[in-house]
Amino acid sequence: MDALSKIFEDIHLNKSEYIYLNLSGDWAFRYQEQGAIAAYIVLQGKIHLQLDDGQKRLIEAGDLVLIPSGQSHYGCSDQEKTLLEATDISTLFDEKRHKTIELGNTDLQENNCFIIAVRGHIDSIMARPLFNALPAFMHIHHITGSSAPEWLQTGLHFLAIEAHQIRPGRDKILDHLVSILMIQCVRDFITQLNDAGNWLNALTHPELSSALAAIHGQPEKAWTVESLAEQCCMSRSKFAGLFSQIIGETPLAYLQQHRLRLASQMLRQGQLSIQQIAHKVGYSSETAFSQTFKKQTTLTPTQYRQHHQS
């Protein structure tokens, strides 16, 4: 499995939910961060989106915007009207999923906007390296036009069909469609990258991608810098230098961080013993694993599991 595919498998993008927002007059909504990907497809009108860090985007009819990390944000009809009371839509994905939510003054025929809002659950800890490398907004213009990529037109066509029909297996299909949209957006972003030091470059690098695929595919293996270099058909020194330059840390430091993120995922899932987890992430003993885990998180594996299952 290639590195990008394995990374998306690791982050467990699943349980995609959506609501329709029918907005008119003066309106505003807020979305609270929930460790989930957020996306908006604007079918009519326009929306001013602003992240809590101040970044802003104007999203118009026919546009798709992804907020990969799902950080808190605010949407409104007019960014000048800052005193508008914002409706929190964060809980509506659970309470009103698949339904149409009316916001604003439905008697007014101005500032009309109709959008599909999507929430896709992920393992935010496993996704951290990916999200750190992605922009806060991923904005694709004119997705409904003939100039839009064919993959996007096809994906949205299926999304529209599945969203309007309650058929067996629909939830699973929606999960796959959201995953496809996310992966394709990341692919497109990588092709346009100008930052040579961005971690995402390594996923498509002709040599380094083999090392990442090996680390993510077999984290339990006793990898060394030499054995990882062999995966890339490179000398040890050239591999180590290139890896550190692009990834921003040494190969073994990256390997350790990935193992600990993977271990934290297994601990939260609660299905394996700590000894089993230690071996699955490449530690020869439970003691060595526990010491390393506590040094990184300040909690023992047992304490971490209890904290996240309480």
Rounded CA-CA distance 241/249 in Å is 10
Domains and CATH numbers, the chain: 3-191 (2.60.120.280), 205-309 (1.10.10.60)
- Which tens digits make up the pLDDT trace of 260-273? 999 999 999 888 99
- Which tens digits make up the pLDDT trace of 170-189? 677 777 777 777 887 888 88
Q: Rounded mean pLDDT of 99-112?
A: 75
pLDDT, residue 225, reads 97
pLDDT, residue 254, reads 94
Q: Strands 100-104, 14-24: parallel, antiparallel or unpaired by DSSP? A: parallel
Spatial CB neighbours of 17, under 8 Å, sequence gap ≥ 6: 93, 94, 97, 98, 118, 119, 120
Does the pLDDT value for residue 142 go beyond 80? Answer: no
Kindly state the percentage of the chain with pLDDT values over 90: 37
Band of residue 105 on the pLDDT scale cut at 50, 70, 90 = confident
For the question of whether the overall pTM of this predicted structure is more than 0.85, the answer is: no
Q: Which of 74-78, 150-154, 159-163 has the highest mean pLDDT?
A: 74-78
- Which tens digits make up the pLDDT trace of 122-140? 888 888 888 888 888 888 8
Rounded CA-CA distance 295/289 in Å is 10
- Name which residue leads in pLDDT, 252 or 192: 252
Rounded CA-CA distance 288/210 in Å is 28
pLDDT, residue 8, reads 82
Q: What DSSP state is assigned to residue 16?
A: E
Kindly state the percentage of the chain with pLDDT values over 70: 87
Band of residue 199 on the pLDDT scale cut at 50, 70, 90 = confident
Query: Got the DSSP string for 42-105?
Result: EEESEEEEEETTS-EEEEETT-EEEETT---EEEES-TT-TTPPPEE-TTHHHHSTTSEEEEE-
- Name which residue leads in pLDDT, 310 or 251: 251
Spatial CB neighbours of 138, under 8 Å, sequence gap ≥ 6: 65, 66, 67, 68, 185, 189
What is the crossing angle of helices 251-269 and 208-217, to 10°? Answer: 30
Average pLDDT of every residue of the chain: 85
- Name which residue leads in pLDDT, 62 or 88: 88
